[in-house]
Structure 1
Amino acid sequence: MRITQLSIYPVKSLGAIALNEAELTPEGLAWDRRWMVVDDVGRFVTQRQLPAMAAIRVGLEADALVLRHPDAEALRVPLSAEGQERLTVYVWEDRCAALDEGAEAREWLGGVLGDFRGSGLRLVRFAPDQRRRVEPHYLAPGEQAHTGFADGYPFLVVGEASLAELNRRLAAKGLEPVPMSRFRPSIVIDHEMPFVEDGWQELAAAESGWRLGLRKPCQRCKITTVDQHSGEIEVPGEPLRTLVEMNTRLAPGGYFGQNAILLAGEGRTISVGEPLTPKPR
């Protein structure tokens, strides 16, 4: 079993960057979910409210975050954080300290996304001294973990066979298959059994010396219905409706993938093609 895809999402709910390798940090793959879009009161805004966010492409250069959209010149945001206004922002029920990326970013987001329910939109950066803890009741005794602006966990692990099974169910309904991008995973693996990742406690790479703890099944939302290239919803409700019908967790809702934390290997490199060993629950 090997890693087949690695992806980061530097700005929460904007476009992905596919990688061949990445540095492991306690907050996720390096540069993952370090920025976020918020409204005027600091509440996070995602594709759940603005599906068009998916059409914003994201790049990382040596000294800048770069956002691109067909209707605007590229926005460049320096990676070095100096002198930004500090403000409080909200991700679900969590209050976080963040740094405002300024007027140019606000104008750019307004130009490509418009107003949001009468509010402007800001681009904010996760404050370097902020620690946002992972919900403790899903962790093992004595474990602690934290994340950036991700919904709740620093990593999301998904198996290719799980997507193949979902697409088989979609095909039986006469629907088109969906790509893995709909689920915005960090790490994709090539195990041949669908949803086998739901039965793992850990995932390790012996050669690199890192270990992930798989701690909570990922309940999916309407973002799975959004085309991650165009920002459009071509088939309302799908594939989320089919995931709910599959009932892979024997619980209400649709689940796909496992949320994970870093157990060992901070600063080490994770790579596409790397062999993995799972530990069952």
Structure 2
Amino acid sequence: MKVVELRRYPVKSMLGEVVPAADVGARGIAGDRLWAVRDPDGKFGSGKNTRRFRRMPGLFRLRAYAADPAPVVELPDGRRFAATDPDGHRAVSELLGRPVTLAPEASVPHHDEGPVSVITTASLRRLGELVGGERIDALRFRANVLLDVPGNGFVEDTWPGRRLKIGGQVVLRVVRPLTRCVMIDMAQDRVGDRNDLLKTLAEHHELTFGVHATVEQPGRIAIDDPCSWA
């Protein structure tokens, strides 16, 4: 196994960025989902409605880039602004058709289930077979780490409880499968709308795809890092 793609999403539920390397700490990939769009009643923008999150169509039209001290958000017309800029908040509000601001994480993480999300090429191939032999783009699953794994199947099913070493430093503890929502069928970046992926996972894989993990040993990971069981 080896790392073939690393992604982070500086603002939750916006488009993110592919990075060649990343620092990993107890919270996960540095800068990942550290900010979110917030509406006046305190709920955060997402692709689904929950106690903490509110579905906000249009977020996939925005892209966020990590920066210090706050992410930079890019609008569809190419304008960019810092996540702390009130003019940017107004521009995002106009795009979404609702009043919002951008807010950093407080005491409760913005992650849906865990600090680091992992998917594999083997599972992508299996899901592609189930929907008629198509190639499924990894970006639909918004995972932090894509691992190249030989074969074809939902190999992560046997991973919960195991310790995954990535490169020479980082050790992850795999916790459980990731439950998926309608976001995997939504158009984003280079992929269009579809209506069959979530249904297929419901029928064949209990609505799960990939796993999330906690960080037992921090460090830095990079593309082409080898992976092994610790």
Shorter-chain TM-score range? 0.7 to 0.9
In 1, Cα distance between equivalents of 2:165 and 2:185? 31
Give unmatched runs, 5+ long, in structure 1: 78-100, 133-147, 248-252
Equivalent residue in structure 2 for 1:126, among 105, 124, 128: 105
Deviates more, 1:21-30 or 1:222-231: 222-231
Matches within 5 A, 1:132-211: 132=108, 148-171=109-132, 177-193=135-151, 194-200=153-159, 201-205=162-166, 208-211=168-171
- The 8 Å contact of residues 113 and 178 in structure 2, kept in 1 or not, is answered as no
In 2, Cα distance between equivalents of 1:67 and 1:241? 32
Once the two structures are TM-superposed, the CA of residue 231 in structure 1 deviates from its matched residue by: 8.7
User: 2:220 matched to 1:269?
Assistant: yes
* One-letter identity of the residue aligned with 1:245: E
Alignment coverage as a number of residue pairs: 221
Once the two structures are TM-superposed, the CA of residue 223 in structure 1 deviates from its matched residue by: 0.6
- The 8 Å contact of residues 8 and 29 in structure 1, kept in 2 or not, is answered as yes
* One-letter identity of the residue aligned with 1:261: T
Q: TM-score, normalised by structure 1?
A: 0.73
* One-letter identity of the residue aligned with 2:208: Y
- The 8 Å contact of residues 36 and 103 in structure 2, kept in 1 or not, is answered as yes
Matches within 5 A, 1:62-101: 64-71=70-77, 73-77=79-83, 101=84
* One-letter identity of the residue aligned with 2:80: A
Once the two structures are TM-superposed, the CA of residue 273 in structure 1 deviates from its matched residue by: 0.4
Once the two structures are TM-superposed, the CA of residue 257 in structure 1 deviates from its matched residue by: 0.5
In 2, Cα distance between equivalents of 1:27 and 1:162? 25
Give unmatched runs, 5+ long, in structure 2: 49-54
Distance 1:72 1:210, change over 3 A: closer
- The 8 Å contact of residues 13 and 53 in structure 1, kept in 2 or not, is answered as yes
In 2, Cα distance between equivalents of 1:62 and 1:26? 19
Runs of 4+ in 1 over 6 A off after TM superposition: none
Alignment RMSD: 2.0
Once the two structures are TM-superposed, the CA of residue 261 in structure 1 deviates from its matched residue by: 0.2
CA offsets 1:205-260 (integer angstroms, 9 cap, x no match): 3x52221000011010001111221796x223x2101111112xxxxx41000110
Deviates more, 1:43-52 or 1:195-204: 43-52
Distance 1:71 1:210, change over 3 A: closer
- The 8 Å contact of residues 55 and 230 in structure 1, kept in 2 or not, is answered as no
Q: Percent identity?
A: 27
User: 2:26 matched to 1:53?
Assistant: no
Once the two structures are TM-superposed, the CA of residue 62 in structure 1 deviates from its matched residue by: 5.5
In 2, Cα distance between equivalents of 1:123 and 1:36? 6
CA offsets 1:168-205 (integer angstroms, 9 cap, x no match): 11125xxx543111101011101124221221212113
3-state SS, counterpart of residue 168 of structure 2: coil
Distance 1:164 1:51, change over 3 A: farther
Q: Which residue of 2 aligns with 1:108?
A: 91
Once the two structures are TM-superposed, the CA of residue 9 in structure 1 deviates from its matched residue by: 0.5
Q: TM-score, normalised by structure 2?
A: 0.88
